[in-house]
């Protein structure tokens, strides 16, 4: 019998009905959270632990579909370690004893013992191998993803596009600027958003879609049995250099970059494009966390505009 994930504890119901070898849920432990989700470790009668995240007031398509499909897309590359996804679905609760109604969503994943240290060079090699892998979805040569997702708490649209520069201009920069609604930022960005402007930074470069984590910073990287592991993605298929837009808070060292670029050599113009990809994330941080990121956004915009031909 299929589990009804709309029971009051949809996650426990799904686990008990679809993973019966594990037995009943015997305990749950809060494992942290953010303003948009909470994390728990569920323990079963067999002693097996599972990692569960929940979000109240947001359905599975809005909250966890993107995370689940992103983890699966990275897992399909058979490169770096990512947690296995078992299911995502709806949390529901009965209003006054009547029919059940949706009250949120959940995702059930492999529990990983995140502790210890990993080799930075191995992280670099595995990330390069992931970026070199062919995306699993059959939109050959296209940029985007099989569903929209979120970057932190912000919506991240991923429609399929044939051209990388158009995708990044419309669905990354213009999208974040629209969310910001800041006239000063829009004025500074206007030269970058003109047709053919951003193409200046990609002259002579052939961009192919790579599987991206999409939100790679130190909080989303850890060691599992001495191996690097990445999680909490905002995955899409894009230019591999776009992965490094969060490197300002990722702590990558020389060994990481040497190993990565040994497999994926640094192309001319890398430093300028690094500013462009950082801008996307700084705009998102401005939208999420406020004016402390405004100055960074203005400086990046001004610097990029000066480099336009």
The residues that are catalytic are 215
In this structure, are strands 49-56 and 85-93 parallel, antiparallel, or unpaired?
A: unpaired
36-40, Cβ contacts within 8 angstroms, sequence gap of 24 or more:
36/63, 36/150, 36/152, 36/153, 37/63
The single-letter DSSP state of residue 244 is G
Give the separation between CA 104 and CA 122, rounded to whole angstroms. 38
The single-letter DSSP state of residue 216 is -
Per DSSP, which regions of 111-152 are E strands? 149-151
**Which residues face 40 on adjacent strands?**
30, 52
Which runs of consecutive H residues, i.e. helices, occur in the chain? Answer: 10-18, 60-63, 65-75, 120-132, 164-168, 174-180, 183-193, 254-263, 270-289, 294-306
Give the separation between CA 159 and CA 138, rounded to whole angstroms. 14
Residues 146 and 279: beta-carbon distance below 8 Å? no
Helices 183-193, 294-306: crossing angle, 10 deg rounding: 30
Of 77, 11, 54, residue with least CA distance to 235 = 77
Give the separation between CA 154 and CA 162, rounded to whole angstroms. 24
């Amino acid at each position: 019998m299929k589990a009804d994930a709309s029971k009051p504890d949809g996650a426990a119901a799904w686990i008990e009905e679809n993973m019966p070898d594990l037995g009943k849920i015997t305990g749950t432990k809060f494992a942290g959270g953010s303003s948009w989700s909470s994390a728990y470790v569920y323990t079963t009668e067999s002693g097996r632990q599972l990692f569960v995240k929940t979000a109240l007031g947001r359905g599975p398509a809005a909250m966890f579909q993107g995370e689940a499909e992103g983890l699966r897309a990275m897992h399909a590359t058979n490169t770096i370690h990512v947690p296995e996804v078992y299911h995502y679905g709806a949390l529901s609760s009965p209003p006054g004893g009547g029919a059940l109604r949706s009250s949120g969503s959940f995702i059930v994943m492999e529990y990983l013992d995140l502790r210890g240290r990993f080799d930075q060079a191995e992280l670099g090699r595995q990330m390069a191998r992931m970026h070199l892998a062919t995306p699993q979805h059959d939109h050959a040569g296209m940029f985007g993803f099989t569903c929209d997702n979120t970057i932190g708490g912000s919506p991240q649209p991923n429609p399929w596009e044939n051209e990388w520069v158009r995708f990044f201009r419309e669905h990354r920069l213009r999208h974040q600027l629209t969310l910001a609604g800041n006239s000063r930022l829009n004025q500074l960005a206007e030269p970058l958003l003109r047709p053919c402007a951003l193409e200046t930074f990609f002259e002579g470069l052939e961009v192919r879609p790579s599987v991206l984590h999409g939100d790679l910073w130190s909080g989303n990287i850890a060691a599992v049995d001495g191996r690097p592991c990445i999680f909490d993605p905002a995955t899409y298929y894009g230019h591999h250099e776009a992965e490094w837009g969060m490197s300002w808070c990722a702590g990558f060292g020389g060994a990481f970059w040497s190993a990565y670029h040994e497999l994926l050599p640094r192309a001319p113009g890398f430093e300028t494009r690094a500013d462009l990809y950082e801008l996307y994330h700084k705009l998102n941080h401005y939208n999420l966390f406020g004016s402390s990121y405004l100055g960074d956004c203005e400086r990046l915009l001004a610097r990029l505009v000066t480099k336009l031909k």
